[in-house]
């Protein structure tokens, strides 16, 4: 724990190490390569949280694919979902007839992705799949099918590998539980 010592000090514990992440991302890339064989999916990165996962994941997929970036807002600086989803940055190209793969950092209540699934169904995508790095099934508030998840985690607020609290900690190479003293001060 001597790299990033300053920010590691704000963690209660490390939950997923960079080695575990690297292996899971490789496995996920292999699985998607198999499942989308013969297709040319459009991989959609949900900014900003999924950005680190996304750039690692697409390099593990051995298929022709295109990338798009989309930003939605659901959280302010708080650690609880507002339930309100807004598209802050939309795609550059239409996805009509395309196999859409939404890449997320974490599924919590499920509200963000259940909203986005409807958006892409309305835009007449051929299919809509969800890939998430982390899943907190205990917190689900809507019925949402998540086909691809790297890690199920307990109900705790986590940061690192793209995930933030108040825009910080995205640069941690591992995923850790944020110490509650950081958000209860």
Q: Rule CB under 6 A: is residue 174 a binding residue for ligand IMP? A: no
Q: Rule CB under 6 A: is residue 162 a binding residue for ligand IMP? A: no
For tokens 């940055």, what's the residue? 89
- Contact range with Mg ion by CB under 5 A, out of 4-12, 100-108, 115-123, 165-173: 100-108
Q: Which does 157 bind (CB under 5 to 8 A by kind): ligand IMP, Mg ion, none?
A: ligand IMP
**Which of the following is catalytic: 99, 105, 108, 164?**
108
Structure tokens at 3: 């790299």
Query: With respect to Mg ion, which residue has the nearer C-beta, 105 or 135?
Result: 105
**Residue 108 annotated among the catalytic residues of the structure:** yes
Structure tokens at 80: 């609880």
Q: Rule CB under 5 A: is residue 164 a binding residue for Mg ion? A: no
How would you list the strands of the sheet with 148-152, edge to edge?
A: 86-89, 66-73, 42-47, 99-107, 127-135, 148-152
The continuous run of DSSP H or E covering 124 comes out as: none
Cβ neighbours of residue 5 under 8 Å, at least 6 residues apart?
none
Q: Which of 44, 58, 112, 176 binds ligand IMP (CB under 6 A)?
A: 112
Q: Rule CB under 6 A: is residue 183 a binding residue for ligand IMP? A: no
Residues numbered 34 to 63 that lie near Mg ion (CB under 5 A) are 49
Q: What does the alpha-carbon distance between residue 117 and residue 42 come to, in Å, rounded to a whole number?
A: 14
Omega cis (within 30) before 48: yes
Q: Rule CB under 5 A: is residue 108 a binding residue for Mg ion? A: no
Contacting residues toward ligand IMP, per CB under 6 A: 49, 74-75, 81, 104-112, 157-159, 163
Could you give the residue numbers annotated as active site? Answer: 108
């Amino acid at each position: 724990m001597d790299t990033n010592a300053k920010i590691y000090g704000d963690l209660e514990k490390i939950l997923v190490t960079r080695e575990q992440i690297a292996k899971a991302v490789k496995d996920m890339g292999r699985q998607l390569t198999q499942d989308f064989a013969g297709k040319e999916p459009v991989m959609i990165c949900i900014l900003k949280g999924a950005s680190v996962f996304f750039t690692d994941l697409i390099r593990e997929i051995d298929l022709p694919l295109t990338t798009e970036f989309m930003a939605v807002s659901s959280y302010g600086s708080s650690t609880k979902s507002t339930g309100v989803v807004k598209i802050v940055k939309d795609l550059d190209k239409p996805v009509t007839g395309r196999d859409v793969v939404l890449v997320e950092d974490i599924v919590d209540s499920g509200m963000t992705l259940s909203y986005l699934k409807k958006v892409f169904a309305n835009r007449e995508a051929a299919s809509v799949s969800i890939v998430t790095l982390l899943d907190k099934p205990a917190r689900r508030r809507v019925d949402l099918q998540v086909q691809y998840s790297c890690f199920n985690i307990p109900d705790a607020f986590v940061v690192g590998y793209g995930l933030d609290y108040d825009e910080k900690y995205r640069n941690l190479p591992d995923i850790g539980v944020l110490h509650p003293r950081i958000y209860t001060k």
